[in-house]
Amino acid sequence: MASVAQPTAVGTRSVVSHLSRLRSPRGQADPFPVYRRLRALGPVLPTPWGGHLVTRYDLCDQVLRGRDWHTIDAEWKARQSGDRWTGFAHQELSRTLQGLNSPHHPRHRRSIGNVFDRATLAELHGTVAGSVDGLLDTLVERIRDGEEPDFGAVVGDQLPIEVIGAWLDLPRADYPLLLWLTHEHVVCQELLPTPTDLASADNAAQGLRLYFTALVHDRRLNPGNDVISRWLRVWDELESDPEAAEAAVFYLVMFLFVAAVETTATLLPTMVWLLDQHPDQRRLLLADPGLVPGAVEEVLRYDPPIHMAGRVASRDMELGGVTVTQDSMVHLMIGSANHDPDHIVEPDVFDIRRQGNQLSMHLAFGGGAHYCVGAALARQEATELLRALTVRLPGLRVSTPPTWSRRVAFRRMTGMRVREG
Ligand code: HEM
């Protein structure tokens, strides 16, 4: 294993120039050389806005699991100056699982239990398999008609929304609107959103609120055995006020939906892209379908959908030899941590045959109290899709390389056209 780089006195100017590189089209297409340089600068690097980038696996993991590191909540946002954190999208996020700290977070998280347990995944298996089949029918038909369709638009965006939409029993006609609102909303969580990004996210948050409050209210009026009705029953026990119970369920459902769609919609085309770029690995996979789960895991490690997560220090703390003062923010560079040579052997090699913790110990789904609720479902969708692709379109190739949205936290790939053979 390589040795740990010692912290150095790094100026914020150097960090800014690396962040600009990350936001360039080249940096978006391949951020890993920039991450390597950032790791060489140190494990904890200062930003001009008083925060710190955390570049190493062990420190990101430590923060994710540490009780003294808080998620970005309503109280913290209220203490900040300027309008970066005051918009509607941020107010809404502060009331979702992701924006709650103890004691609120455990209460809300416990209320949904282990949502995607074995039994639920088994129930959802038919939905996932049916959706994969239908979407690949469309993809195959369009390819055979001589088109080079955009994989993300035809399959990547559709599979997660079809699965979560069926689970929540949403009308299919609403999917395009919900997809658009989701993509617009997530941008408020970017590292450096523009005022326009924030305004679009606020509008999207309004749309999501209207849609999902109406949905939850409808289930209140017409209760059934669906997941929303079940959560309403749980919250009616926890809250004496029925409106407060409805509000709690609204935030759970709305956030779960957004979190499920935006991330998995990136994982699926990334899988196709990385296998296209590594023909040796593609050949291995085609020769041995038993490698599918390992391939999904390696894609999650190599280029996870979320490259950055934020936390704030609840008191003055030392991290990687650097003092982080109370209330300042740390940006956990998950994409960099997953390529940390002190944690993973030959991290820049895409290798679907990794075993043991070299395969599963990555931070794509976060860690600690806020560990991803839907990790098992995301894995199920990706595995089912990849298995079906190896059978139905073994010769699938990328004909037009993707472009990436100018984001550094939530990756989003568009315009990746595919063909056969
Ligand atoms: C490849 C797909 C996915 C990736 C890479 C991913 C990644 C993540 C990460 C990194 C976090 C932690 C964020 C933090 O600590 O700040 C998280 C949390 C979360 N994820 Fe996922 N996710 C994926 C799919 C899903 C799906 C399918 C669902 C739901 C069906 C989901 C629901 C959630 C929820 C509700 C949280 C918040 C948990 C909490 O704060 O307690 N995710 N996810």
Is 360 within the bounds of a domain? yes
Is 234 within the bounds of a domain? yes
Residue 10 has which token pair? 């790094």
Give residue 90's pLDDT.
97
- Model confidence at 5, in pLDDT bands (50, 70, 90)? very low
Is 357 within the bounds of a domain? yes
Domain count across the chain = 1
Q: Find out whether the beta carbon of 264 lies less than 6 Å from any atom of ligand 1.
A: yes
Q: Cα of 307 to ligand 1 centre, how many Å?
A: 12
Q: How far is CA 377 from CA 57, 121, 135, 159, 320, in A?
A: 25, 7, 18, 12, 34
Mutate to test the pocket of ligand 1, among 62, 373, 377, 381 (most ligand atoms within 8 A of CB): 373
- In sequence order, which residues have a C-beta less than 8 Å from that of residue 117 and are 6 or more positions away? none
pTM: predicted TM-score of the whole model, two decimal places: 0.96
Is 26 within the bounds of a domain? yes
**pLDDT higher for 2 or 372?**
372
Q: Find out whether the beta carbon of 98 lies less than 6 Å from any atom of ligand 1.
A: yes
Backbone region of residue 113 per phi and psi (left: phi > 0; alpha: psi in -120 to 50; beta: other values) = left
- β partners of residue 48: none
Q: Find out whether the beta carbon of 263 lies less than 6 Å from any atom of ligand 1.
A: yes
139, 149 in Cβ contact below 8 A? yes
- Model confidence at 357, in pLDDT bands (50, 70, 90)? confident
- β partners of residue 403: 414
Nearest atom (ligand 1) to Cα of 366: 10
Cα separation, 307 vs 28, in Å, equals 11
Question: Whose C-alpha lies nearest to ligand 1, atom 23?
Answer: 263
Is 80 within the bounds of a domain? yes
267, 275 in Cβ contact below 8 A? no
Give residue 9's pLDDT.
56
Across 252-258, average pLDDT: 98
Cα separation, 22 vs 396, in Å, equals 29
Across 342-348, average pLDDT: 95
Residue 210 has pLDDT above 60, yes or no: yes
> What is the extent of the structural domain holding 118?
12-420
Residue 2 has pLDDT above 70, yes or no: no
Across 313-325, average pLDDT: 97
pLDDT tens digits, residue range 82-136? 889 999 999 999 999 999 999 999 999 999 999 999 999 999 999 999 999 999 9
Cα separation, 412 vs 355, in Å, equals 28
- In sequence order, which residues have a C-beta less than 8 Å from that of residue 125 and are 6 or more positions away? 380, 384
pLDDT over 90 percentage in the chain? 92
Place of tokens 């639920």: 120
Across 300-317, average pLDDT: 98
Nearest atom (ligand 1) to Cα of 71: 16
Nearest atom (ligand 1) to Cα of 116: 30
Nearest atom (ligand 1) to Cα of 371: 12
Question: Whose C-alpha lies nearest to ligand 1, atom 6?
Answer: 365
Question: Whose C-alpha lies nearest to ligand 1, atom 31?
Answer: 374
- In sequence order, which residues have a C-beta less than 8 Å from that of residue 415 and are 6 or more positions away? 150, 152, 400, 402, 403
pLDDT tens digits, residue range 262-286? 999 999 999 999 999 999 999 999 9
Q: Find out whether the beta carbon of 161 lies less than 6 Å from any atom of ligand 1.
A: no
Task: State the sign of the Cα–Cα–Cα–Cα dihedral 364, 366, 372, 375.
Answer: positive
Nearest atom (ligand 1) to Cα of 64: 15
Q: Cα of 247 to ligand 1 centre, how many Å?
A: 21
Is 192 within the bounds of a domain? yes
Mutate to test the pocket of ligand 1, among 157, 268, 365, 386 (most ligand atoms within 8 A of CB): 365
Q: Find out whether the beta carbon of 366 lies less than 6 Å from any atom of ligand 1.
A: yes
**pLDDT higher for 363 or 7?**
363
Is 184 within the bounds of a domain? yes
Residue 6 has which token pair? 């010692």
Question: Whose C-alpha lies nearest to ligand 1, atom 3?
Answer: 263
pLDDT over 70 percentage in the chain? 98
The average confidence (pLDDT) of the chain is 95
Q: Find out whether the beta carbon of 259 lies less than 6 Å from any atom of ligand 1.
A: yes
Domain of 367: which CATH number? 1.10.630.10
